[in-house]
Chains A and B, each alone.
Chain A
């Protein structure tokens, strides 16, 4: 009866559901559209990569989800639900209830996201006190050691008794992740959290995230500007541009056969990806999108743009029943067949 049905609905229910989200910043004489018409489903155990250059709205998205927006920035349309419960809508902000408890966040610079004057132990303990008050002292201590071991820290006692400045950069990042997951959230948001790390440490941190998702069924939003990293880790990719999703789809499909010219442009700018051709940046920079903006946000930098692109809002093209698709009226050709694309792809997407 319900006992068997319940897990199924729970599995079908996205951990995070974003519908037509719109976030605006009111300035003195203008209103900026920071996020516009964004849809996203994130299931338990799924990793979604959000990629795009600076100013594309990635960080605003993360800060919106945990309710850390500046005073002049508000959600003006759409809704966000966590585990089926609405937490954000125009005039609704229940993010305080999920922040830290059901959504853990790892920020860009771990060294600066740890309080320099508090020991790791007290920073972990206060998170447990806030979200797992029922734990006894001994249980909490055990949980702290466990989470650090899960972060591949061999000597948890030493790290617990350390101040952040006494740890290496890699250890600090592990502690920052431990702080985000010690309360056992269903969703983890990772905002450019590998950017400041060297390549080796980066690979280790990515492996940690993969284990977290595989073992705990966490749903992960991995925000990065590093396409190769996203290709390595993510099940699906959202390419953001000017506050909108330019393209959404399974990682392989988006990387091997991008439909949106911006996705293709990002790929051409990755050195090892375009090893057989020249590395090309995308000329220009992301536009300032006000509410008066009309047409395609990428048109000013797009080789395929024509007058139609600039005159009216671009509709979303996607298959029915899924959120995958792209926002372009002159898309690149769909992949002819998987086999040749795979041969051209190189190792990055296969790993």
Chain B
């Protein structure tokens, strides 16, 4: 049993490493496919010597294969290079922005779970009723409303008209509310829909009838017997949605002038700061892979049959 668990873990970790390597390669390719970075930075009026000097400085004069190997080696050692616009190390820049992004991300995903799971459960338990239709409508809206539009509308209503909440910048909890709501809506909708489908399926299982026949309370049957079994697909989608959030955060951070990784990535792209853009992509990829690995391991905790 434990040996199969160990091989399960080893397989998952191996797959995660392969994914990571592919992501690193893609990040490298992106930096080199979007035109010559040195031209882009120095502009059309640059002198030949300037260009050559900068090339040598960045190691861009070496063969592409050598650059790739150097890049991989540096990345593994945690060296993400220096930003071309801020003249600081990328890791420093990222670690100064990461806490804000994490704060926003965690708030959004917690909100999505705390509202999405009960909403989907309610819809499944009250299948075909007004509750069900209301929940489905919310889910549909959440999936179809563009994030930037929603962000602007919330700012317009709560910050400009009602003056209840700040319109942007990070700060206290009140600053977090609007961006977190905006960012949470899409994953909330996905989680609610999937919870509904998964719960509806589980509620039709014979062991749910058997639990009812044993005279257990509806609360216990839905909250423990059904939800525990319905949790697996919901976990998967939550992890995937968290990955999607990483990109959704760019738009949300921009709309709310939130000083996180998303705005940093935007700044990098606008300034053609390819080393910084690369570094942000790497950090995002690592976060995504680690998150998925954690979910795979969490499966084993939730479903004893996988042990």
Contacts and interface: CB of A to CB of B under 8 A. Distances in A.
B229 A99 contact: no
B206 A117 contact: no
A117 B213 contact: no
A115 B229 contact: yes
Contacts of B220: 126
Given A99-B214, A116-B303, 13 more contacts: A66-B213, A68-B212, A96-B215, A100-B216, A104-B213, A107-B210, A109-B206, A113-B207, A115-B228, A117-B229, A117-B304, A131-B215, A180-B213
Contact of B206 (A99, A104, A107, A163): A107
Contacts of B216: 100, 126-127, 130
Interface of B: 205-207, 209-217, 220, 224-225, 228-229, 302-305
Contacts of A335: none
Interface residues of A, number: 29
Given A115-B229, A118-B228, A165 B304 contact: yes
A230 B224 CA distance: 37
B101 to A, nearest CB: 34
Given A99-B215, A130-B215, A113 B210 contact: yes
A103 B217 CA distance: 16
Q: Which of the listed residues B205, B210, B224 has the most CB atoms from chain A within 10 Å of its own CB?
A: B210
A113 B225 contact: no
A130 B228 contact: no
B228 A114 contact: no
B207 A114 contact: yes
Interface in A269-328: none
Contact of B214 (A108, A118, A119, A179): A179
A176 interface: yes
Interface of B is mostly: helix
A272 B59 CA distance: 89
B208 to A, nearest CB: 8
A116 B305 contact: yes
Contacts of A163: 304-305
Contacts of A64: none
Given A112-B206, A126-B220, A105 B213 contact: yes
A244 B272 CA distance: 82
B214 A130 contact: yes
Q: Which one of B211, B213, B217, B228 has the greatest number of beta carbons of chain A within 10 Å?
A: B213
* Top 8 A-B residue pairs of the complex, sorted by shortest distance between their CB atoms: A100-B215, A113-B210, A105-B213, A112-B206, A100-B214, A163-B304, A99-B215, A115-B207
B217 A107 contact: no
Nearest to B215: A100
A221 interface: no
A112 B215 contact: no
A220 interface: no
Contact of B215 (A101, A113, A117, A119): A101
A116 B302 CA distance: 11
22 contacts: A68-B209, A96-B215, A99-B212, A100-B215, A104-B213, A112-B205, A113-B206, A114-B207, A114-B210, A115-B225, A116-B229, A118-B225, A127-B215, A127-B216, A130-B215, A130-B216, A130-B217, A176-B210, A179-B214, A180-B214, A183-B214, A183-B215
